[in-house]
Chains A and B, each alone.
Chain A
Amino acid sequence: MSRDTYIQLESVTKKYTRGGEDLVVLDQLDLTIPEGDYAALMGPSGSGKTTILNLVGGLDVPNSGRVTVAETEVSGIAQRQLPAWRARHVGFVFQSFNLLPVLTAHENVMLPLQLTPLSAAERKKQADFALEIVGLSDRAGHRPSQLSGGQEQRVAIARAIATDPDVIIADEPTGDLDRNSADEILELLDRLNDELGKTILMVTHDPAAAANARRILKLDKGNLVSDEANDRSRKQSQGEA
């Protein structure tokens, strides 16, 4: 597999059965994302965006077709092994942050590190570092309820990168945030892509968010209707204007 096919969906079909009726969400979908790419996935509600993220992240399995991430066929991993694979390769960022409210920011970031063979000192160091990257070292001891929405999402991003996964999967990460906080998050994702080389797959409704990505994929009723490289300089010049 080349650097050009880091994430690959081949003829992927996903159906849900609801009330005895089959609902085909993805119908023989093909999709390729190269290593180090930053792709924005757009499309109307219910078009199957979250379903794609779930398949790539190994949270769900397709009915047919292959899902490959970093040379591993995710759709072929046994159900029991999937959590372990997720722990090593994927970091999730959700629209509603999904921090555990009873844990502090630092403890939330520590969570995925519990699954690594690192020593306690190394885990702490790594969590500290992740919080530093998102600029929240000074809020390490705060509970999510003591943080703003933007800060919560930054903690969630720190948690997603704490174990140094290859892929960041973000499902409408700015959907619950005001413009300023959203911009902070987008800037952070930019840096993860630019500086740390993370491959990012982000679902978004927000054109400003999509403008940050290197590529924009448009989905409609389970079909890829457009796949275009994005001219990021345009966004930058807009920003400077």
Chain B
Amino acid sequence: MIAAASSLKGRRKLSFPLRLAFRHIFANKTRNGLTILAITIAVFLLCFLLAVVRGIDAGVRSASSTRLVTQSAVSLFVSLPMSYRPKIDAQDGVAIASEFQWFGGYYQDPSNFFPQFAVNKDRFVDMYVNDFEIIEGPNGITGPGAREAVKKAFATEKRAAIIGIGLRDEEKYDFKIGDTVPIIPAIYQRADGGAWEFVVVGVFRPLKARIPDRIMYFRSDYLNDSIEVGEAFGEVSAGVYYVNIDNSNQSEVIATEIDQEFLNGPQRTQTVTEAAFASFFVSAIGNLPLFLGTVGGAVLFSIFFSVVNAMLIAGRQRLNEAGILQSLGFPPITSTFLLIFEGLAVALIGGAFGLALAIGTQDLVVLNFGDSIRNYEIDPGLMGLAIGTSAVLGITAGLCAGIPFLRYRPTEALRSIG
């Protein structure tokens, strides 16, 4: 017959062990199918939860460092008086300040909720110069001139409203420049029992992750004057103040000075950076990132054990094979390698499905939960993390099942025939 092999160079050939590993995966369709399904779900959840957490973080990080928020020292739900704005404006280092009052109405149906804020008619557009790009103004004006035109219209038309691009482009809103938009109040009821009417004078595209594209800003004097003349019910107030400052290094000093100014009332204030204010909002809803992170971790942890368990079962079934391979001259590590590869392949298949599911449902999530889940995106970093996590999961499970093979002697392994 043919000349005997002269040296062991078998390790250069990986294709055969790989084929064997794939045969095993297909030979146990049910077990591996379930494992893949579990990993798919886990990786999808991981992507989903991390994308939510990242979205929240992105909002906090995109907060302006040259902006402060002055709120009531008592609570976010206590409004500050209108009289504070000139005093805040007068502080050294303050560039421009505007009241921000939460309106809380809805369009046609409560499910069509988007935030509305009452802001200062003369200051708001200038204050948000870096936060959004005005893309359309009155009479169809677009381009660089749009900002001035919108600023002018906002100062002139009492019912003026500036809207995010989502409210223009989304079919269920479809607000256009010049449209009169009825908003049904939840807090500020009108004497006639009807809706408030706003006239769209500008459309913007957010430049910061923190600002949604479905949001509306309108004039605080429209709200307050209506209350004063008895056309609407409620309290004439400013809500909180957004304060642009000249120099971010000065934020601490200026914040202290503003709070000093109002130390003797009528309402004490607490002034914080916009970033701190944004993260307060996040913690106000129960420290969502930590919660979501914990849920994701728990899911991953339990899936990890089910994958390890599946691989351990595979390993026990592979004892006889390990003995056979050793009798044929394969080193013991071959069986370890086979199990690691099997674990890796199963985990990567599951991970890829999970990631595909997360990417595939991304638009759906944004469409349905875009209002509450901000900046949701399965970005490349997240994709890498999903695949990396799957790989680590699979390799670890394979190692758990495969390491014992290094200790078995071939005679013991062969005895497992039964």
Which positions in A face B, CB cutoff 8 Å? 54, 57, 59-60, 80, 83-89, 92, 94, 96, 98, 100-103, 107, 110-112, 114-118, 122, 126, 129, 159, 161, 163-166, 196
Contacts and interface: CB of A to CB of B under 8 A. Distances in A.
Contacts of B332: 83
Given A94-B414, A98-B327, A164-B3, 8 more contacts: A59-B326, A59-B410, A59-B414, A83-B326, A86-B327, A101-B27, A111-B328, A112-B328
B410 to A, nearest CB: 5
B8 to A, nearest CB: 4
A54 B411 contact: yes
A175 B320 CA distance: 19
A210 B347 CA distance: 51
A98 B16 contact: no
Interface in B369-418: 409-411, 414, 417
A115 B2 contact: no
Interface of B: 1-10, 13, 16, 19-20, 23-24, 26-27, 320-321, 323-332, 409-411, 414, 417
A144 to B, nearest CB: 12
A179 B325 CA distance: 29
A101 B19 CA distance: 13
A83 B328 CA distance: 7
Contacts of A54: 411
A87 B1 contact: no
A163 B4 CA distance: 6
B408 to A, nearest CB: 12
B4 A88 contact: yes
Contacts of A101: 27
A118 to B, nearest CB: 7
Given A87-B5, A102-B23, A102-B24, A115 B328 contact: yes
Of A80, A88, A112, A114, most buried by chain B (CB within 10 Å of CB) is: A114
**Which A-B residue pairs are the 6 nearest by beta carbons?**
A87-B329, A116-B5, A115-B10, A102-B23, A84-B8, A86-B329
A164 B16 contact: no
Given A59-B410, A102-B24, A161-B1, A117 B329 contact: no
A166 B409 CA distance: 23
A115 B327 contact: no
A68 to B, nearest CB: 18
Contacts, number: 101
Nearest to B8: A84
B95 to A, nearest CB: 73
A85 B13 CA distance: 18
Contacts of B327: 57, 59, 86, 92, 98
Contacts of A114: 10, 13, 16
9 contacts: A84-B331, A87-B328, A98-B324, A102-B24, A111-B325, A115-B5, A117-B6, A129-B1, A165-B4
B417 A96 contact: yes
A163 B331 contact: no
B22 to A, nearest CB: 9
Nearest to B13: A114
Contact of B5 (A94, A98, A117): A117
B16 A110 contact: yes
Nearest to B7: A117
Nearest to A130: B1
B10 A116 contact: yes
A86 B330 CA distance: 9
B31 to A, nearest CB: 14
A181 B329 CA distance: 28
B2 A60 contact: no
Contacts of B410: 59-60
B1 A115 contact: no
B5 A88 contact: yes
Contacts of A98: 320, 323-324, 327, 414, 417
B324 A100 contact: yes
A101 B328 CA distance: 16
A77 to B, nearest CB: 12
A100 B9 contact: no
A84 B414 CA distance: 18
Contacts of B329: 83-88, 112, 115
B15 to A, nearest CB: 9
Contacts of B321: 100
A1 to B, nearest CB: 18
A101 B321 CA distance: 9
B316 to A, nearest CB: 15
Of A57, A59, A103, most buried by chain B (CB within 10 Å of CB) is: A59
A103 B9 contact: no
A59 B411 CA distance: 6
A226 B177 CA distance: 109
Contacts of A196: 1
B5 A83 contact: no
Of A83, A110, A129, most buried by chain B (CB within 10 Å of CB) is: A83
Contacts of A118: 5
A98 B328 CA distance: 11
A107 to B, nearest CB: 8
Contacts of A103: 20, 23
A129 B20 CA distance: 22
Contacts of A163: 4-5
Nearest to B24: A102
Contacts of A83: 8, 326, 329-332
A194 B330 CA distance: 29
Nearest to A160: B328
Contacts of B331: 80, 83-84
A87 B10 contact: yes
Contact of A111 (B5, B16, B27): B16
Contacts of A89: 4
